[in-house]
């Protein structure tokens, strides 16, 4: 199915300070990056930033204002359309079924760059078409009319047609936009395998998680420019996502896939017009405070989350939303100096919420500091023996605080009401 094997150390596609656009309107300026043979590079960025324009520039669909674009060392301006089609396969964002071709006939069009003017498909061409339809799970559609197929089926047929060209470079413009989850993963697994076999792939993604999962490197297209492609963990950090997309997100390694997982927490626009309210302290950990932190931030409260270990879910959320906290190394314990800082910071809070989290040596000082701060306390959830790994000290602290007038609530909504009573005189 694929073309001649490529040396993975060679540059397959090069943008050399390329500025591209339409007519007098420049969309992307000074794009300067390579895609190597055997590499999958993803393009991400806001709508309208120019991701698709970069792909169209390779095939002549968008104009090159300055700089150069080369495929396998040959400037695209020096290639005929036929030669370009032998090197580069394209899967557009959507397919329009304008004619009543059969699905197989549609895929067979991918062989045209390899045929003479009056030459018909031969046995070798038939074998290529059959192979790509099997690999794209479209063989069962061979006799169907393309104008009667779903958008998802058409998208997979578009990939089959592109692969029938036996290109060494594959351009993907949001190839999963019309696919259900199963077929989206199937298509991207196939594309990933093609890259592993030596094909150079440049793909536009809207789904950052899929980009991080499948691409070797990712370039960010925004504000008329393109960043140098980097490994997903470097390209899609929380700061970049906030700056480029206006979204505060938790960025962590997925323990199942081993790839980057991106969880949006809130949009920057969600905070516009929020009324500033008194600061709230939280004693949390192991994800117990994640949801409440988001709700408190949306309500206009500044947050201080005590001491949190790197790698903890609450640490990731607090960092993403800009809450204050004392950072500890993974599994690190709170020393006396840090505990005093936590106590002092808690003392400046309107009130402190103690979330339903286990207490052991690592975070018992957070609870001690909260109780010693003298600020109103709200306990969220039942603090039972199963949560006390401090030989009864945690339960004793909770019991003493409740006896001194601390509130106990069962839900986050009740916690917000209790907070409002302390922070805003009952106005939430």
Residue 256 maps to a domain: no
* CATH code of the domain covering residue 25: 3.40.50.300
pLDDT, one tens digit per residue, over 276-308 is 789 999 999 999 999 999 999 988 899 999 999
Token pair listed for 340 = 């005093």
Residue 194 maps to a domain: yes
Please name which of 8, 16, 70 lies closest in space to residue 39, comparing C-alpha atoms: 8
Angle at 357 between CA 356 and CA 359, to 5 degrees: 130
When comparing pLDDT for 133 and 270, which is higher? Answer: 133
Q: Is the dihedral of CA 328, 332, 334, 335 positive or negative?
A: negative
Residue 6 maps to a domain: no
Q: What pLDDT, on the 0 to 100 scale, is given for residue 100?
A: 81
Q: What pLDDT, on the 0 to 100 scale, is given for residue 271?
A: 67
Residues 230 and 286 in one domain: no
Residues 203 and 320 in one domain: no
Residue 113 maps to a domain: yes
- DSSP class of 73: T
Residues 315 and 214 in one domain: no
φ, ψ (nearest 5 deg) of residue 330? -55, 130
Average pLDDT, the chain: 91
Domain holding 45, by residue range, is 11-236
Cα–Cα dist 108/121, whole Å: 8
* CATH code of the domain covering residue 337: 3.40.50.450
Q: What pLDDT, on the 0 to 100 scale, is given for residue 386?
A: 82
pLDDT over threshold 50, residue 5: no
pLDDT, one tens digit per residue, over 393-409 is 999 999 999 999 999 99
- Last residue within a domain, chosen from 180, 214, 236: 236
pLDDT over threshold 60, residue 6: no
- Last residue within a domain, chosen from 220, 236, 252: 236
Residues 154 and 47 in one domain: yes
Cβ-based neighbours of 48, under 8 Å, separated by 6 or more = none
pTM of structure: 0.83
pLDDT, one tens digit per residue, over 25-69 is 999 999 999 999 999 999 999 999 999 999 999 998 888 999 999
Residue 267 maps to a domain: no
Q: What pLDDT, on the 0 to 100 scale, is given for residue 118?
A: 73
Return the beta strands (E) in 130-259 as ranges.
169-173, 200-204, 217-222, 225-226, 247-253
Residues 195 and 279 in one domain: no
Residues 43 and 175 in one domain: yes
Residues 165 and 20 in one domain: yes
For the segment 76-97, the average pLDDT, to the nearest whole number, is 86
Residue 245 maps to a domain: no
Pairing of strands 260-267, 247-253: antiparallel
- Last residue within a domain, chosen from 188, 213, 236: 236
Residues 293 and 359 in one domain: yes
Quote the number of domains for the chain.
2
């Amino acid at each position: 199915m694929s073309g001649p094997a490529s040396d993975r150390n060679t540059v397959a596609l090069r943008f050399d300070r390329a500025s591209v656009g339409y007519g007098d309107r420049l969309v992307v300026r000074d794009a300067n990056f390579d895609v190597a043979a055997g590499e999958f590079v993803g393009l991400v960025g806001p709508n309208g930033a120019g991701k698709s324009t970069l792909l169209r520039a390779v095939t002549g669909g968008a104009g090159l204002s300055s700089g150069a674009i080369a495929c396998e060392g040959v400037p695209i301006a020096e290639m005929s359309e036929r030669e370009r089609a032998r090197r580069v396969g394209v899967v557009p964002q959507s397919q329009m079924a304008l004619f009543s071709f059969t699905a197989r006939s549609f895929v067979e069009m991918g062989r045209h760059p390899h045929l003479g003017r009056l030459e018909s498909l031969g046995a070798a061409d038939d074998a290529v078409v059959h192979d790509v339809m099997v690999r794209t799970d479209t063989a069962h559609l061979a006799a169907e009319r393309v104008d009667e197929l779903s958008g998802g089926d058409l998208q997979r047929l578009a990939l089959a047609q592109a692969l029938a060209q036996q290109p060494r470079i594959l351009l993907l413009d949001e190839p999963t936009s019309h696919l259900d989850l199963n077929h989206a993963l199937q298509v991207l697994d196939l594309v990933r395998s093609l890259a592993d076999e030596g094909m150079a792939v440049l793909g536009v993604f809207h789904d950052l998680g899929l980009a991080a999962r499948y691409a070797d490197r990712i370039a960010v297209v925004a504000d008329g420019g393109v960043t140098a492609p980097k490994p997903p963990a470097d390209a899609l950090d929380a700061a970049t996502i906030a700056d480029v997309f206006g979204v505060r997100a938790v960025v962590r390694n997925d323990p199942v896939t081993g790839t980057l997982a991106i969880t949006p927490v809130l949009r920057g626009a969600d905070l516009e017009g929020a009324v500033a309210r008194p600061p709230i302290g939280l004693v949390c950990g192991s994800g117990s405070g994640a949801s409440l932190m988001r709700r408190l931030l949306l309500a206009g409260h500044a947050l201080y989350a005590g001491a949190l270990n790197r790698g903890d879910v609450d640490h990731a959320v607090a960092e993403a939303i800009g809450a204050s906290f004392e950072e500890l190394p993974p599994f690190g314990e709170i020393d006396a100096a840090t505990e005093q800082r936590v106590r002092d910071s808690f003392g400046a809070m309107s009130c402190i919420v103690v979330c339903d989290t286990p207490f052991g040596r690592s975070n018992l000082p957070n609870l001690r500091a909260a109780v010693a701060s003298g600020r109103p306390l709200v306990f969220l959830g039942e603090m039972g023996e199963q949560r006390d790994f401090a030989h009864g000290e945690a339960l004793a602290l909770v019991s003493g605080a409740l006896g001194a007038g601390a509130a106990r609530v069962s839900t986050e909504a009740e916690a917000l009401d209790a907070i409002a009573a302390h922070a805003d005189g009952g106005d939430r």
